[in-house]
Structure 1
Amino acid sequence: MTTSFLPQSPPAAEVRTAAGGHRTTVLIGTDTYPPDVNGAAYFTARLARGLVRRGVRVHVVCASPDGRPHTAERDGVVEHRLRSVPSLVHDSVRLALPVGVRGHLDRIMERLRPDTVHIQNHFLVGRMLAAAARARGVPVVATNHFMPENLFDYVHVPGPLRPHAARLAWRDLGAVLSRVDHVTTPTPAAARLLWEQGFARPVEPVSCGIDLARFRPVEGGDAQRGRIRARLGIPDRTTVVFVGRLDEEKRADELIRAVARTGADVQLVLAGHGAYRGRLEELAAAEGVADRVVFLGFVSHEDLPDVYRSADLFAIAGIAELQSIATLEAMASGLPVVAADAMALPHLVEEGGNGFLYRPGSARELAARVDEVVADGARRRAMGARSREMARAHRLEDSLARFERIYREVAAEGAAVPAGGFTAGR
């Protein structure tokens, strides 16, 4: 079972029509979409359903979760599910079969005549949909969620080969992104990463966004927090929470080792599922903290906000986060954050303001930061309030509005094949 982050269906009354009566039609192409379990899939679902709420006509092309090709409408989004096979990369992801995909995409393009195509990945579906759009003069927007490091553990690339594999992966990404009309990525750090890898065109940071009404601080203080814990089956003690896949790349083992080294009486709650769970349970036992590590496993869409409200702080150890939606959800929920000083996480942590950073790999330093947060209740609450304030800069509605403007801008300019991709020598 898996943790659910999907947004609720938008009420019909909230759907509006764009000014002038024209409803923009956007065709989103993605190689991963719910029920797949990853940040790109959840972002794409929130984007699609949020755009519908704003009056945009949205179609999504993605792999079928059961292998059977079909079309379905969910929450106003029309899903075109392609024939698929199980992935060798991850048990929760399926891959669209390449045979016949291009012809199917051509027929969808001809029938829908979208104003804009928005691809979320540069793999099979995104790559082929971008080519189909270019052939028809339809502008293409691309959002990059990719880092090679997020795949290496799944495909078992040996350590010595990873630098070479990463260079090939970045160049392959560039071959796709260099031929679209507008490129976005979730954070300035993610945009800078593309530039550092040799991408020669502008990249616009657009936050994934967070629903501030859905994710908000606990009301009723410690008493209400205790009631939430009881309902979720969490012991009533000072709680560090992590929400996400329990796979190797998320480095939850550091969180367990940190709990074993804290001076305070804290527990760790891990909400999510993944292939690494068994090893994490063994590690908790070996570190002598099995009674202080709670594995929640599957968390329903309805219960997810309460998982954050059950906690006193949020911790994350990943070093390949292009933004981290879970960290944004925690911040919106009024939690202090202790995070690895890596990739985009420093953009979400104001040192001493809403939390602390620690050196990746140092469970002892992580433990010391956790101790510092939980030692002073008044300071912890002030840090949580600062997190909530910082989360306001990532309002989902602002992100949706920006994407809608991008679609209009590229449609007005017309499709082009931009020059420049990845340059040599970087």
Structure 2
Amino acid sequence: MNRPIRTLLFSTLYPSEVRPTHGIFVETRLRELLKSGAVETRVVAPVPWFPSTAARFGEWARIAATPAHERRNGIEVLHPRYVLPPKVGMNVAPLTLALGARSTVAKLIRDGFDFDLIDAHYYYPDGVAAALLSKWFRKPFVVTARGTDLNLIPAYALPRRMIRWTAQRASGSIGVCAALMDVLRDLGADPARLHVMRNGVDLVRFAPRSQETCRARLGLPVASRILLSVGHLVERKGHHLAIEALDSLPDVHLVIVGDGEERARLQQLAAQPGRAGRVHFAGARPNAELADWYSAADALILASSREGWANVLLESMACGTPVVATNIWGTPEVVAAPEAGELVQARDAASIALGVSRLFARYPDRAAVRRYAEGFGWDPTSQAQLSLFSRVAGFSGPGGASHA
């Protein structure tokens, strides 16, 4: 009997009503895949257990307030709890994550959702936990690597061994850029089971808007050059370098969209002589609002130390705004043409400022930037997923008859 492929998406990186932007790139890829009509999915997105929702506990309190069950964009999402003990959490997380989700997965099967495969996101600990669930429930699994899970965590001996073990057992490993799959290949994974499936961009949500109108709506200077830096306020995103770059960029303003642990330090940097009044902190903004901010800017700055495939680059370009970014991991696969923007080789303020100056000296036509981004729609990635999932599940084709 013909039916959709049934997948269980498993990841700690998935939005919830209390953290609506957390892991939104995982949700976006799933939503695009579901448009095919060839897949039916349930999401199990575990969150660490925490005993209190009292506001004084900050982010942990927000995590504790995550509902056990919710529907997001028509998708059923379950949030079982798992134990993440201090100090040893990194090494035991795969096991506690799998144990915490085990009864939830079993109930899904009992209730009639006997899925064909596990679609896990983030190699460690999520992918390793998925490998354990795969063994317990006798289901095949695939894992998507997204960045830090493979460009940082394998530096630790025990996690590296567990990543290697998982890669050997996965029916397929997916990387959002080729550099991530190179890591698995170097760890001994079978090259035949390594696949590059880049993230796409929503070309409807992210489309050019009037720069003047957006600046007026957002309360930004109309006549100045404006740079934009988007992401969590953490060191690896490099917002501090964007601020420091202003010293070499007179009359340029910087807008920072995001929130996080570095906010106070960044505000202190922004208040220093020569920068005061030129840095605007917009806070965290919903993904649906970002097109206004991209359209208002003259360029996006991404000064990250680590990235797999940075969605903000494509979102910005889809709005017609070119980028200046550090030349790391998957970024050169995104910024691969002059109209896209500039790559900088060194991660420091001087290099960022020089990249901005080079871009402004040959500023590309914004319509050309948009056309470049249009080559990164979601359809090729969705079709590649369907092809892989069909093979793994033993289907004759996407949505076709099961051989099982």
What TM-score results when the alignment is normalised by the length of structure 2?
0.82
**1:128 maps to 2:129:** yes
Match in the other structure for 2:3:
22
Q: Confirm or deny: 8 A CA contact 1:85 1:97 kept in the other structure.
A: yes
Structure 1 position 350 matched with structure 2 position 336: yes
Residue number in structure 2 paired with 1:208: 199
The superposition leaves residues 339-363 of structure 1 with CA deviations (integer Å, 9 ceiling, x where unpaired) of: 1122211122236442211123331
Q: What 5-or-longer segments of structure 2 have no aligned partner?
A: 48-62, 88-92, 397-404
Shift of 1:313: 1.0
Note the C-alpha offset of 1:197: 4.6
**2:393 corresponds to 1:411:** yes
Match in the other structure for 1:173: 163
Give the aligned partner of residue 16 of structure 1.
Answer: none
Deviation at 1:204, TM superposition (A): 0.8
Return closer, same or farther for 1:271/1:86 CA change in 2, 3 Å cut-off.
farther
Task: State the Cα deviation string for residues 20-68 of structure 1 (Å, max 9, x = none).
Answer: 8512211100022114879981121112222333222110001254356
What is the distance in 2 between the residues matched to 1:144 and 1:40? 16
In 2: Cα distance, 1:286 partner to 1:197 partner: 46
Rounded Cα–Cα distance in structure 1 between residues aligned with 2:348 and 2:240: 11
Task: Give the Å deviation of 1:138.
Answer: 2.2
307-316 or 47-56, larger mean C-alpha shift = 47-56
User: Which letter does structure 1 place at the counterpart of 2:387?
Assistant: R
**Structure-2 residue corresponding to 1:81:** 79
Determine which of 13, 26, 49 is the counterpart of 1:32: 13
Alignment partner, residue 244 of structure 2 = 257
Which residue is equivalent to 1:380? 363
Percent identity between the two aligned chains: 27
In the other structure, the counterpart of 1:61 is 44
* Equivalent-residue separation in structure 2 for 1:51 and 1:176 (angstroms): 24
In the alignment, residue 299 of structure 1 is paired with which amino acid? R
Aligned to 1:362: 348
Match of 2:107 in 1: 107
In structure 2, what is the equivalent of residue 336 of structure 1? 322
Indicate the RMSD between aligned Cα atoms, in angstroms.
Answer: 3.0
Contact preservation (8 Å) 2:228, 2:257: yes
Q: Quick one: distance in 1 between partners of 2:347 and 2:326? A: 8
Which one-letter code corresponds to 1:258 in the other structure?
A
Check if 1:192 corresponds to 2:173.
no
CA deviations on 1:370-419 (whole Å, 9 max, x unpaired) are 123224xxx4242x4443233233212332222122211211279xxxxx
Contact 1:241 1:313 in 2 (8 A): yes
What letter corresponds to residue 214 of structure 1 in structure 2? R
Conserved in 2, the CA contact under 8 Å of 1:39 and 1:325? no
2:273 maps to 1:282: no
Structure 1 residues without counterparts, runs of 5 or longer: 1-19, 90-94, 153-163, 219-223, 415-426
String of CA shifts for 1:145-168, please: whole Å, max 9, x gaps.
Answer: 24258878xxxxxxxxxxx94444
**TM-superposition CA deviations, 1:204-263 (whole Å, max 9, x none):** 110111111211122xxxxx312211211222221111111111111111111111212x
Contact 1:256–1:268 (CA<8 Å) still a contact in 2?
yes
- 1:321 equivalent to 2:321? Answer no
Q: 1:124 to 1:165 in 2, by over 3 A?
A: closer
Relative distance call for 1:105 and 1:327 in structure 2 (3 A) is same
Evaluate the alpha carbon distance shift between residue 201 and residue 69 of structure 1 in structure 2; reply closer, same or farther with a 3 A threshold.
Answer: farther
Q: Whole-Å Cα distance in 2 between the matches of residues 399 and 62 of structure 1?
A: 22
> What SS is found at the alignment partner of 1:388?
helix
Give the aligned residue type for 2:232: R
CA distance in 2 between counterparts of 1:40 and 1:295 reads 20
Question: In the TM superposition, what is the alpha-carbon distance from 1:275 to its structure 2 partner?
Answer: 0.7
Structure 2 residue 384 is the aligned partner of structure 1 residue 402: yes
Q: Identify the residue that residue 159 of structure 1 maps to in structure 2.
A: none
* Alignment match, 1:421: none
Q: Distance in 2 between matches of 1:150 and 1:290?
A: 36
CA gap 1:122/1:352 in 2 versus in 1, 3 angstroms: closer
Structure with larger RCO (C-alpha < 8 A, sep 6+): 1
Tell me how far apart the structure 1 counterparts of residues 370 and 85 of structure 2 sit (CA, whole Å). Answer: 38
Per the TM alignment, residue 109 of structure 1 is displaced from its structure 2 partner at its CA by 3.8
1:144 aligned partner = 145
The range that moved more, 29-38 or 45-54, is 29-38
Conservation of the 8 A alpha-carbon contact between 2:21 and 2:286? no
Determine the C-alpha separation between the residues in 2 that align with 1:347 and 1:48: 22
Give the Cα–Cα distance (whole angstroms) in 2 for the partners of residues 28 and 83 of structure 1: 16
CA distance in 1, matches of 2:33, 2:85: 29
* TM-score, normalised via structure 1 length: 0.78
Question: How many residues are paired up?
Answer: 369
Q: Which amino acid aligns with 1:184?
A: I
1:5 matched residue in structure 2 = none
SS of residue paired to 2:274: coil
**Which residue identity lines up with residue 288 of structure 1 in the other structure?**
G
Q: Contact 1:51–1:58 at 8 Å: present in 2 too?
A: no
What is the rounded CA distance, in whole Å, between the counterparts of 2:22 and 2:199 in structure 1?
9
| TM-aligned CA deviation for residue 115 of structure 1 | 1.9
Q: Match of 1:156?
A: none
Q: Is the 8 A contact 1:208 1:399 kept in 2?
A: yes
* Alignment pair present for 1:272 and 2:263: no
The CA deviation string for residues 283-336 of structure 1, in whole angstroms up to 9 with x for no partner, is 122353121111110213432111100111111111211110011111111111
> Which of 135, 147, 172 in structure 2 is aligned with 1:182?
172
8 Å CA contact retained: 1:67, 1:85 = no
